[in-house]
Structure 1
Amino acid sequence: MSEATQQRVRNAADALNYVPSEAGRSLSTRSTRRIGVLVSDLANPFYPYLVGPLHDELEQRGYRMMLLTERSDDALATERLLDHSIDGAVLTTATTGSALPDALRRKQVPFVFLNRIDGRDGADSAVVDNERGGRIVAAELAELGHRTVALLGGSTDTSSGRDREHGFVSGLADAGITLPAARIRRGPYDFDTGYRGLTELLDADPDLTAVFCGNDVVAIGAYNAALREGLRIPDDLTLIGFDDLPMASWEAFSLTTIRYDLPEMARAAARLLVERLTGETDRSARQVAFTPELVRRGTHAPPTLRRAWRV
């Protein structure tokens, strides 16, 4: 097509206020250029920090992000992720018993796990080394001299909850410290899990000196429960979180926590999926695992003897 003809087409498009139709393009390209991203609850501060860099990386590579925010990923399987309205999916809320990954495999819809995996082979993933993170916390508490410790962990049907707990329990055992079942509480990664869980733990054992929390949101819930009970952090109780969300560094909390490169983990997931969609790789499932480290702030200290504070 000559330059003159091209210019006449552009002029006509401008006069008609023409906007290219992605739906029309998809009929010929058989590609929607849309990626479905499944999260469980945007009220949880963790997900906005994950979704932002994910969106930016996908947009840079020419894809639009469609955010799906229902609480049950299985309920979405037949409605959105399998109706050919997307090219691929990013799963951030997978559980070990989820049926959705297998449904996507059967429909040959490419997907990538971000943050959690389902524990089966055959899919790309971008995750943090959760077990190592749990071991780091255990080693820190043992070195500080804590022996009466507890865990406010995530659900064991999530790979993150399972692996963080396993690493923590194993790390304590290496230091000669036993973590009895009575000092473990599990639940969703939310404020209430930390708030209610710490209250229950303190009811059962007022001499508790340290708690490892499954993530920063749980830790902040536990922090608030401790303040309600008149405990001083860290003088009376050490709290350590996981994820290093921006709020963890707020002066109101100054939370000691496990850090990893959360934005880069999200971007890595986007790259893995796009490479799979564009045929840039024909390799079997790839995993990008990020290394955790301890960020020492103001919620950890050696244990101190204190008088019973409950009546």
Structure 2
Amino acid sequence: MSITSHDVARFAGVSQATVSRALRGDPRVSAATRERVRHAADALNYVPSAAGRSLSTHTTRRIGVLVSDLANPFYPYLVGPLHDELEQRGYRMMLLTERSDEALAAEQLLDHSIDGAVLTTATSGSGLPDALRRKQVPFVFLNRVDGRDGDSAVVDNELGGRLVADELAALGHTRVALLGGVTATSTGREREQGFVAGLADAGIALPASRIRRGPYDFDTGYHGLPELLAADPDLTAVFCGNDVVAIGAYNAALRAGLRIPEDLTLIGFDDLPMASWEAFTLTTVRYDLPKMARAAARLLVERLAGDVRETARQVAFQPELVRRGTHAPPR
């Protein structure tokens, strides 16, 4: 016969309800009682039933996390700390990808199998946030927002773009280009806005011929840089929408026989661990990515617990420029 919570309750000398609360880490149960219950559960080899807990509490203790493509190096560095924070707060993470079918991912978020959602792929045209609101599923935006009300943990993208523009202007670059993200994403739109505004303040123009936009992946940089160089062979600096795009552009530059940074300055965004590898030593924009992920988890758990009344809260992280080996004055 399988061991039940009632067996644990008898062994520990407490009620069955106390066993449930103690194993959830409920602060209303004293530390001594929690320890006694855990000892009883270990002695009996008791494993709590997630299905039974869901039926009794009407919750699943599961959080759906929507990402676009796990092949992108950005997401593992985001998902790891997000998982750890949710686990510490008693939730399990269910990872969903919209790479193959956005509609299917949305359906999974709305099938009552989760208590809340973390959205990392928000675009201005997405109907998912409104669908979650109609189903009364709490959610939080992480990294990207869609312009509508909702809790969010983000970086100040406009400031990051300005930091890059200021650095290039200080180095003396005037023939600069942008390999940015698509404008349907807040990250692509805001980083470009900050960059363009910073250049304008320095009296530097950025014509449309020196702008290419695309997904935040290697191919956007690898194929986009040759297009920019074909349009302007005298280009001296390129701001890339993120580090993955920058590494794609770096490889394209090497293939074209260009030296980095002597012939071409490249600057990225995010400061992924690979940016500091000796193969790249990429100059980039840094912010605390793990801390931002953990902040998103806390915002969502607080919303689920009913601890907040505000319509929307935002935690914004300040960026800084990390100077490594891919920037220099123009040749």
TM range, normalised to the smaller chain? over 0.9
CA RMSD of aligned residues (A): 2.2
Structure 1 residue 19 displacement after superposition = 2.7
On the 8 A contact 2:66/2:119 being kept in 1, the answer is: yes
Structure 1 residue 79 displacement after superposition = 2.2
Structure possessing the higher relative contact order (Cα contacts under 8 Å, 6 or more residues apart): 1
Match of 1:186 in 2: 213
Structure 1 residue 70 displacement after superposition = 2.4
- Unpaired segments ≥5 residues, structure 2: 1-5, 17-36
SS in structure 2 of the partner of residue 95 of structure 1: coil
The 5 Å alignment of 1:229-240 reads: 229-240=256-267
Q: 1:208 aligns with which of 235, 250, 261?
A: 235
CA distance in 1, matches of 2:235, 2:9: 80
SS in structure 1 of the partner of residue 71 of structure 2: coil
CA distance in 1, matches of 2:100, 2:161: 27
Q: Number of residue pairs matched?
A: 303
Normalising to structure 2: TM-score of the pair? 0.87
On the 8 A contact 2:221/2:247 being kept in 1, the answer is: yes
Residues 1:6 and 2:11 aligned together = yes
Match of 2:272 in 1: 245
- Unpaired segments ≥5 residues, structure 1: 305-311
Q: 1:20 to 1:135 in 2, by over 3 A?
A: same
Q: 1:228 to 1:39 in 2, by over 3 A?
A: same
Match of 1:81 in 2: 109
1:82-127 CA-to-partner distances (Å, cap 9, x unmatched) read 1110000000011111010010011110000000000112x10000
Q: 1:12 to 1:292 in 2, by over 3 A?
A: closer
Q: 2:156 aligns with which of 122, 129, 138?
A: 129
CA distance in 1, matches of 2:169, 2:53: 60
1:34-68 CA-to-partner distances (Å, cap 9, x unmatched) read 00000001110000000000000000000000000
On the 8 A contact 1:117/1:125 being kept in 2, the answer is: yes
Identical positions, percent: 83
Normalising to structure 1: TM-score of the pair? 0.93
Match of 1:47 in 2: 75
The 5 Å alignment of 1:1-311 reads: 5-7=10-12, 19-71=47-99, 74-76=102-104, 78-121=106-149, 123-304=150-331
Match of 2:22 in 1: none
SS in structure 1 of the partner of residue 268 of structure 2: strand
Q: 1:193 to 1:4 in 2, by over 3 A?
A: closer
SS in structure 2 of the partner of residue 242 of structure 1: coil
Match of 1:307 in 2: none
Structure 1 residue 284 displacement after superposition = 2.0
Q: 1:267 to 1:200 in 2, by over 3 A?
A: same
SS in structure 2 of the partner of residue 24 of structure 1: helix
